[in-house]
Chains A and B, each alone.
Chain A
């Protein structure tokens, strides 16, 4: 009964492919996030959804498209994968967008583009 679950945990794919990462939370939280952790361990916010509505959309290539079918799910679809997309992607959730603590993170998806 993992609170925030991401699948898959590892993803190795070739350049040019399209892939999706799924995220689900069973905490009843209103807000979900996608973060990208780069090689320097920095966590960068990519997207945030509150009750299925997009509230943060940082400057990321439009090859990345989030989809929130309901407030418990936030999936990340990536088109035309590039080498630079290789990173660990974390999903997270919080009670509300105003919460500055009480984040629950997923365990991450390690994406390797070859």
Chain B
């Protein structure tokens, strides 16, 4: 059973605009959430995280929002740059468990 879902396999945005990547989870035990970025032929790299005691965490152009009641988190990238083109994985951890979504491929067009 998929406890972490990224329902959009791909997303395409124009350079300079906002990219919004979404992630849903089902397990209420998850209390820490992470986003990873992955370039082709490389392993995923940690991007940003958020604890369940917060609803927003910002790091430069990247902001993660957490809606615990909806069991939903999103990653906002503003402004989007061509170098942001990659696959983004959402992950959720808690209760000694960590689960990953299947990823969303973001393409930022110049």
Cα distance A108–B95 when bound, in Å?
13
**In the complex, which of the residues B45, B46, B103 contacts A103, with contact meaning CB atoms closer than 8 Å?**
B103
State the Cβ distance, B7 to closest chain A Cβ, in Å. Answer: 12
State the Cβ distance, A88 to closest chain B Cβ, in Å. Answer: 7
Interface of B is mostly: strand
Cα distance A102–B101 when bound, in Å?
9
Interface of A is mostly: strand
Question: Given A41-B34, A107-B97, A110-B96, A100–B45 Cβ distance below 8 Å?
Answer: no
| Chain B count of residues within 8 A CB distance of the other chain | 23
User: Is the C-beta of A12 less than 8 angstroms from some C-beta in chain B?
Assistant: no
* Contact between chains at B98 and A88 (CB < 8 Å): yes
* Contact between chains at A41 and B87 (CB < 8 Å): no
* Contact between chains at A45 and B45 (CB < 8 Å): no
Cα distance A105–B101 when bound, in Å?
8
Question: Given A41-B49, A88-B98, A103–B42 Cβ distance below 8 Å?
Answer: no
* Contact between chains at A102 and B102 (CB < 8 Å): yes
User: Is the C-beta of A114 less than 8 angstroms from some C-beta in chain B?
Assistant: no
Binary CB contact string for chain A from 78 to 114 against chain B (1 if under 8 A, 0 otherwise): 0000000000101010000000111111011010000
Question: Given A42-B46, A43-B46, A107–B99 Cβ distance below 8 Å?
Answer: yes
User: Is the C-beta of B5 less than 8 angstroms from some C-beta in chain A?
Assistant: no
| B36 surroundings in chain A (CB, below 8 A) | 43
Binary CB contact string for chain B from 42 to 59 against chain A (1 if under 8 A, 0 otherwise): 111110010000000000
B residues near A (Cβ < 8 Å) are 9-10, 34, 36, 38, 40, 42-46, 49, 87, 89, 96-100, 102-105
Kindly list 4 other residue pairs between chains A and B, CB separation below 8 angstroms, not including A88-B98, A100-B40, A105-B99: A35-B44, A42-B45, A43-B36, A43-B46
